């Protein structure tokens, strides 16, 4: 019985690649230094998998930045602005595409399906001359072979590559990217033939777009592509790997009837319907790579249950054709539990990071072949049982309260226009009121104070006075700038989710549980392992302290339940919505305590609401329903005079505008630095919304300081679409990554622009 791993994290157990990359980019180390770190990481990963007994070990899943960019390099599809000479692509061209250079900005980056990983979007058009320009896949295969490890080279499949790309600048937006198939396949053929010559006997094409809603024309491209490749692939065993969701029935039938393919990989964690499709019919003589070990999460596998699934599949595909696998690349989980000395043993026994998942896959494969490691299985069963019964996981009162929310509705009693009137009487704001999104620059000094307090190097008293001083500075600055609705600046927060997670019960934090977000950037999601509750107020002290420093309205600042959920590793022993409802109830308590403490404006950030929208359209409505409901739960109990804001980062709102309106916030601020009028009209036309809208008037992601005229011009453009009485003036996101030298003049110009426009209206 065989085992297979779809892909493995690149960063290293302690983010070695991140530090090597950043040091290279800063000119502090050489290309050879970087290559050495990368080679060491690859070799230790291959050896680890080989030692664990994995049969099909992937290669070419390492990347210096991103696997889609690697494919762009392989195909020589470098946009002309990077001035590439046409020879083998090196670091210079590669990192220019990823990060920009002196004369050209970086290529666009976008979310990889519904993960928090971001890939570099290929920019293609009819004039691109594809050529075989990066031999990375072959080199890595050979590198592993030289180390004595036989691997399965992994390529982003040609159809998914095209479907994930966009028309290059100057190319018609309706250009059918899939029409480039005939042009890229010759390069794929060259790669395949080199891999064969190097001795490869298997090759894996990742075609995850097969799990999305594809029209027939695009589905047909898979048949075209693989029949075109068939002769080049002959003599090789070919796996087509899908992941992240169910494969729709039509796609399943097309996929499994492809000729010349030896095996198919499916995500059986998220794809329970795929399981039924397989049981309903699987081509004889083909391998099934059964993804039963979750690559998207950090929970230990329920081995007994996976074994039962696998045994049922054995009957369908045959004993010798069943391969135990991961649901997707392990890229999306943390690397190694070994580096978590601070997690207690009970919680640790419930977890499996990438290194542990490799062992699980192998244990399952061995069990299927009659060599079950009884000790390993019984330890796993004991851990599963302890998780089910642990009092740390279950809080009956919370369970009851959250379950009661299901199927019910919670919203404020009065409609938004009436509420805004009541609020205006209290707040007395000018038209085009100015505000900011929450955080102010986080100085090195501030980070030091927080770090030392956490490490107990400074007393609570000293910490409080340092933070108070910072808040006072931020409040005074905003008063000087004459901003209308103030914020406290969030100096006590390291991260908008972690800050709340640390104070809620049911959350655990890792020391090294990093997951790549893009390039060298990683995130360390909290782990939600138990029922969530709020032992005591989390922000009331700081918000009321800040309010006491000014007579202007001070916004209370909270992270919403959907964002906390979407940016965490979520428990898999109850539906996501139930966990979300629990968080919503905790945030509701906080909202009400803020209100009692005299905070009249409360912002509940839902930066990640859009991110959680499922891949398949058929699942959108259900998600949006409970997500929006969760948001409303947090503030359904406040008085009309309490103004609820929400903030969302840049995302495509067009298709979810009704849900955003259904959140029923009084004011919504969105990232809109591109001044997208279409986006604004969506807000305007979608429904007679009536609430306040603050589309960011300048881009905080850049150090550039916008002038008063420029901001006024932008606001004027917004006013052409939106009405004066609903428009707010604010930057497009929090200011924490900027410097005061940028923030002060930018905000000054923003306020001047608002004042200028007020005189003209």
Q: Judge whether 438 is annotated as a binding position.
A: yes
Stretch that binds ligand GLN, among 70-78, 210-218, 564-572, 733-741 (CB under 6 A): 733-741
Minimal distance, residue 727 CB to Zn ion, in Å: 18
Minimal distance, residue 603 CB to ligand GLN, in Å: 7
Stretch that binds ligand GLN, among 226-234, 236-244, 307-315, 730-738 (CB under 6 A): 730-738
Minimal distance, residue 517 CB to ligand GLN, in Å: 13
- Cβ proximity to Zn ion: between 59 and 603 the closer is 603
- Cβ proximity to ligand GLN: between 77 and 437 the closer is 437
Diameter over CA atoms, the chain: 82
Does 736 contact ligand GLN by CB under 6 A? Answer: yes
Q: Where are the alpha helices (DSSP H) in 234-293?
A: 249-256, 272-280
- Give, in order, the Cα–Cα distances in Å from 412 to each of 224, 638, 683: 54, 8, 21
Burial of 530 (0-12, 13-18, 19+ CB in 10 A): buried
Q: Judge whether 736 is annotated as a binding position.
A: no
- Cβ proximity to Zn ion: between 38 and 733 the closer is 733
- Cβ proximity to ligand GLN: between 123 and 490 the closer is 490
Does 439 contact ligand GLN by CB under 6 A? Answer: yes
Q: Which does 557 bind (CB under 5 to 8 A by kind): Zn ion, ligand GLN, none?
A: ligand GLN
The residue behind tokens 């796996």 is 239
Which residue in 88, 77, 87 sits closest to 126, CA to CA? 77
Helix (H, G, I), strand (E, B) or coil at 408: coil
Q: How far apart are CA 256 and CA 261, in angstroms?
A: 8
Minimal distance, residue 650 CB to ligand GLN, in Å: 10
Q: Which does 77 bind (CB under 5 to 8 A by kind): ligand GLN, Zn ion, none?
A: none
Q: Judge whether 552 is annotated as a binding position.
A: no
3-state SS of 63-87 is: CCCCHHHHHHHHCCCCCHHHCCCCC
Minimal distance, residue 490 CB to ligand GLN, in Å: 6
Q: Which does 439 bind (CB under 5 to 8 A by kind): ligand GLN, Zn ion, none?
A: ligand GLN
Does 438 contact ligand GLN by CB under 6 A? Answer: yes
- Cβ proximity to ligand GLN: between 129 and 702 the closer is 702
How many CB atoms lie under 10 A from the CB of residue 315?
Answer: 10
DSSP string, 102-162: TTBPPPPEEE-TTSS-EEEPPEE-TT--------HHHHHHHHHHHTT--EEEEEE-HHHHH
How many CB atoms lie under 10 A from the CB of residue 33?
Answer: 13
Q: Which of 733, 743, 747, 753 binds ligand GLN (CB under 6 A)?
A: 733
One symbol per residue from 482 to 501: x for binding ligand GLN (CB under 6 A), - otherwise; what is it? --------x-----x-----
Q: Which spans of this chain sit near Zn ion (rule: CB under 5 A)?
A: 649, 733
Stretch that binds ligand GLN, among 420-428, 431-439, 454-462, 530-538 (CB under 6 A): 431-439
Does 607 contact ligand GLN by CB under 6 A? Answer: yes
- Cβ proximity to ligand GLN: between 245 and 649 the closer is 649
Cα angle: 180, vertex 184, 190; to 5 degrees: 165
Q: Active-site residue 701, yes or no?
A: yes
- Give, in order, the Cα–Cα distances in Å from 380 to each of 306, 325, 399: 12, 18, 26
Q: Judge whether 439 is annotated as a binding position.
A: yes
Q: Calculate helix-pair angle for 91-99, 16-25, nearest 10 degrees.
A: 100
- Cβ proximity to ligand GLN: between 97 and 437 the closer is 437
Does 557 contact ligand GLN by CB under 6 A? Answer: yes
φ, ψ at 489 (rounded to 5°): 95, -5
The residue behind tokens 């058929």 is 618
Phi-psi region of 170 (alpha: psi -120 to 50; beta: other; left: phi over 0): left
Stretch that binds ligand GLN, among 197-205, 212-220, 409-417, 432-440 (CB under 6 A): 432-440
Which residue in 219, 316, 228, 336 sits closest to 268, CA to CA? 316
Stretch that binds ligand GLN, among 87-95, 313-321, 435-443, 721-729 (CB under 6 A): 435-443
Minimal distance, residue 561 CB to ligand GLN, in Å: 15
Minimal distance, residue 700 CB to Zn ion, in Å: 8
Instruction: Give how many residues touch ligand GLN by CB under 6 A.
Output: 13
Stretch that binds ligand GLN, among 65-73, 189-197, 411-419, 433-441 (CB under 6 A): 433-441
Cα distance between the two ends of the chain: 75
CA atoms within 13 A on the CB side of 657: 15
- Give, in order, the Cα–Cα distances in Å from 665 to each of 137, 434, 638: 50, 18, 12
Q: Which does 438 bind (CB under 5 to 8 A by kind): ligand GLN, Zn ion, none?
A: ligand GLN
Q: How far apart are CA 519 and CA 98, in angstroms?
A: 8
Minimal distance, residue 670 CB to Zn ion, in Å: 8
Does 613 contact ligand GLN by CB under 6 A? Answer: no
For residue 349, give every residue at least 6 positions away whose Cβ sits within 8 Å of its Cβ, in sequence order, or none.
300, 379, 382, 383, 386
For residue 285, give every residue at least 6 positions away whose Cβ sits within 8 Å of its Cβ, in sequence order, or none.
321
Q: Which does 556 bind (CB under 5 to 8 A by kind): Zn ion, ligand GLN, none?
A: none
Q: Judge whether 116 is annotated as a binding position.
A: yes
Does 525 contact ligand GLN by CB under 6 A? Answer: no
Q: Judge whether 636 is annotated as a binding position.
A: no
Give the residue at shortest CB distance from ligand GLN. Answer: 734
Helix (H) or strand (E) holding 305: helix 303-317
Which residue in 668, 664, 643 sits closest to 728, CA to CA? 668
- Cβ proximity to ligand GLN: between 55 and 555 the closer is 555
- Give, in order, the Cα–Cα distances in Å from 60 to each of 46, 235, 418, 564: 11, 20, 59, 33
Q: Are strands 505-508 and 57-59 parallel, antiparallel or unpaired?
A: unpaired
Helix (H, G, I), strand (E, B) or coil at 192: helix
- Cβ proximity to ligand GLN: between 530 and 734 the closer is 734
Q: Which of 734, 751, 754, 757 binds ligand GLN (CB under 6 A)?
A: 734
Q: Judge whether 522 is annotated as a binding position.
A: yes
Q: Judge whether 86 is annotated as a binding position.
A: no
Residues flagged as binding site: 18, 116, 437-439, 490, 521-522, 567, 605, 647, 649, 658, 662, 671, 733
Contacting positions for ligand GLN (CB under 6 A): 437-439, 490, 496, 557, 605, 607, 647, 649, 733-734, 736
Provide the annotated active-site residues. 701
Residues flagged as binding site for Zn(2+): 647, 649, 658, 662, 671, 733
Residues flagged as binding site for L-methionine: 437-439, 490, 605
């Amino acid at each position: 019985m065989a085992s297979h791993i779809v892909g493995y994290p690149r960063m290293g157990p302690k983010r070695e690649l991140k530090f090597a990359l950043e040091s290279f980019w800063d000119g502090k180390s050489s290309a050879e230094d970087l290559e050495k770190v990368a080679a060491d990481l690859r070799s230790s990963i291959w050896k680890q998998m080989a030692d664990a007994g994995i049969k099909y070990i992937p290669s070419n899943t390492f990347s210096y930045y991103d696997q889609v960019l690697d494919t762009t390099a392989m195909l020589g599809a470098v946009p002309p602005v990077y001035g590439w000479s046409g020879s083998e692509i090196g670091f210079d061209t590669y990192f220019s595409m990823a990060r920009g250079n002196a004369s050209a900005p970086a290529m666009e980056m976008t979310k990889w399906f519904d993960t928090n990983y971001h890939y570099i979007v290929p920019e293609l058009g009819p004039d691109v001359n594809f050529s075989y320009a990066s031999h990375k896949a072959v080199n890595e295969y050979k590198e592993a072979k030289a180390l004595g490890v036989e691997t399965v080279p992994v390529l982003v499949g040609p159809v998914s590559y095209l479907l994930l790309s966009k028309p290059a600048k100057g190319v018609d937006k309706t250009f059918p990217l899939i029409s480039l198939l005939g042009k890229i396949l010759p390069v794929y053929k060259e790669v395949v033939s080199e891999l064969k010559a190097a001795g490869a006997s298997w090759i894996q094409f990742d075609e995850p777009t097969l799990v999305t809603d594809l029209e027939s024309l695009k589905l047909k491209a898979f048949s075209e592509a693989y029949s075109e490749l068939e002769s080049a692939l002959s003599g090789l065993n070919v796996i087509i790997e899908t992941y992240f969701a169910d494969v729709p029935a039509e796609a399943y039938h097309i996929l499994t009837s492809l000729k010349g393919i030896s095996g198919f990989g499916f995500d059986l964690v998220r794809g329970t319907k795929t399981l039924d499709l397989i049981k309903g019919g699987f081509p004889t003589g083909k391998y099934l790579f059964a993804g039963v070990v979750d690559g998207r999460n950090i929970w230990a596998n329920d081995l007994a249950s996976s074994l039962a699934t696998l045994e049922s599949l054995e009957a369908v595909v045959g004993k010798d054709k069943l391969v135990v696998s991961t649901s997707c690349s392990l890229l999306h989980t943390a690397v190694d539990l070994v580096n978590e000395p601070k997690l207690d043993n009970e919680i640790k026994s419930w977890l499996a990071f990438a290194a542990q998942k490799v062992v699980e896959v192998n244990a399952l494969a061995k069990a299927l072949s009659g060599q079950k490691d009884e000790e390993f299985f019984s330890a796993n069963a004991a851990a599963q049982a302890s998780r089910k019964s642990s009092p740390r996981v279950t809080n009956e009162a919370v369970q009851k309260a959250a379950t009661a929310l299901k199927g019910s509705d919670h919203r404020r009693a009065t409609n938004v226009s009436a509420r805004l009137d009541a609020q205006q009487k209290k707040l007395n704001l000018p038209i085009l009121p100015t505000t900011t999104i929450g955080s102010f620059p986080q100085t090195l000094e501030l980070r030091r104070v927080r770090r030392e307090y956490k490490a107990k190097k400074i007393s609570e008293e000293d910490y409080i006075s340092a933070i108070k001083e910072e808040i006072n500075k931020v409040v005074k600055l905003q008063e000087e700038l004459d901003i209308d609705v103030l914020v406290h600046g969030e100096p006590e927060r390291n991260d908008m989710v972690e800050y709340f997670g640390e104070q809620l019960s049911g959350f655990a934090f890792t020391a090294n549980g990093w997951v790549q977000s893009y390039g060298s950037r990683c995130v360390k999601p909290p782990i939600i392992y138990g029922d969530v509750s709020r032992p005591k107020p989390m922000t009331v002290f700081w918000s009321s302290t800040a309010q006491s420093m000014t007579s202007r309205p001070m916004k209370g600042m909270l992270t919403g339940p959907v964002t906390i959920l979407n940016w965490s590793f979520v428990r898999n022993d109850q539906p996501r919505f139930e966990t979300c409802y629990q968080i919503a109830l905790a945030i509701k308590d906080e909202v009400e305590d803020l209100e009692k403490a005299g905070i009249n404006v409360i912002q509940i950030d839902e930066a990640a609401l859009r991110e959680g929208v499922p891949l398949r359209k058929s699942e959108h409505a259900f998600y949006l329903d409970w997500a929006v409901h969760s948001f409303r739960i947090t503030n359904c109990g406040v008085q009309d005079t309490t103004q609820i804001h929400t903030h969302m980062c840049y995302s495509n709102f067009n298709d979810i505008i009704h849900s955003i309106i259904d959140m029923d916030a009084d004011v919504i601020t969105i990232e809109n630095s591109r001044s997208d009028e279409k986006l604004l009209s969506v807000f305007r036309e979608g429904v007679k919304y009536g609430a306040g809208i603050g589309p960011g008037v300048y881009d905080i992601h850049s150090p550039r300081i916008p002038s008063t005229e420029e901001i006024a011009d932008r606001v004027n453009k917004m006013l052409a679409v939106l009405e004066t009485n609903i428009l707010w003036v604010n930057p497009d996101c929090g200011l924490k990554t900027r410097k005061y030298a940028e923030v002060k003049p930018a905000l000054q110009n923003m306020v001047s622009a608002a004042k200028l426009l007020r005189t003209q209206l």
